[in-house]
Amino acid sequence: MILEEIIKRKSVRSYLDKEVEEAKIMEVIEAGRFAPSASNIQPWKFILTTDKDIRNELSIACNRQRFVAEAPVIITACVICRGYNMGGWYDSACLDIGIALDHMTLEAVHLGLGTCWIGAFSEERVKKILNIPGNIKVAALLTLGYPRDPSIIKKHRKPLEEILCREKYE
Ligand SMILES: Cc1cc2nc3c(=O)[nH]c(=O)nc-3n(C[C@H](O)[C@H](O)[C@H](O)COP(=O)(O)O)c2cc1C
């Protein structure tokens, strides 16, 4: 079932000028809240932005990606603490937040909404715009809204044999 949403999800970079119902926004957030995180640390805080002026400012801070302002909702995902030390070589916080955001993208599809991950941004500028304290980091942003084109697209992905091996690394 969920594979349907996974296949349907695509980066939406053009949105209808239509508000997203509060109940739908909250369902998307809930999908993130229930996401797993290493040691259940939940090292996240999400900022919901719907104000047009702030969205415009964020769009500039996101390397002037115009569709960021076009989206009626922007979710900014913050790292509020350290995560779990994974395999002795990396902190899980950004991975945890990635899982939460991905849950949100799939719930959004389920509700007829579209999203786009935003990794191209100036952390300094985003923090300033959103009054984020110095000790908090910004991991990523997500745009959310009704897609102008809800059609399913063909995705370009590496073939299975390139990314999967069995029993041992080949
Ligand atoms: C962590 C991350 C950061 C991304 N940052 C941006 C971004 O700043 N701007 C953008 O237009 N797309 C961004 N994308 C979207 C990717 O380009 C997109 O997911 C990829 O090309 C695959 O296409 P699809 O999402 O339609 O399947 C980002 C995706 C991820 C996962």
Q: How far is the CA of 141 from the centre of ligand 1 (A)?
A: 11
Domain boundaries, the chain: 2-148
Q: Is 152 in the pocket of ligand 1 (CB under 6 A)?
A: no
Residue 148 CB: number of other CB atoms within 10 A? 15
What's the CATH number for 2-148? 3.40.109.10
Alpha-carbon dihedral angle through residues 39, 40, 41, 47, given to the nearest 10 degrees: 150
Task: Report d(CA 56, CA 159) in Å as an integer.
Answer: 39
Using one digit for the tens of pLDDT, what is the confidence trace for 96-140?
999 999 999 999 999 999 999 999 999 999 999 999 999 999 999
- Compute the residue count for the chain: 170
Contact of 20 with 74, CB cutoff 8 Å: no
Q: One digit per residue, pLDDT tens: the chain, 170 residues?
A: 799 999 999 999 999 999 999 999 999 999 999 999 999 999 999 999 999 999 999 999 999 999 999 999 999 999 999 999 999 999 999 999 999 999 999 999 999 999 999 999 999 999 999 999 999 999 999 999 999 999 999 999 999 999 999 999 99
Mutate to test the pocket of ligand 1, among 7, 11, 96 (most ligand atoms within 8 A of CB): 11
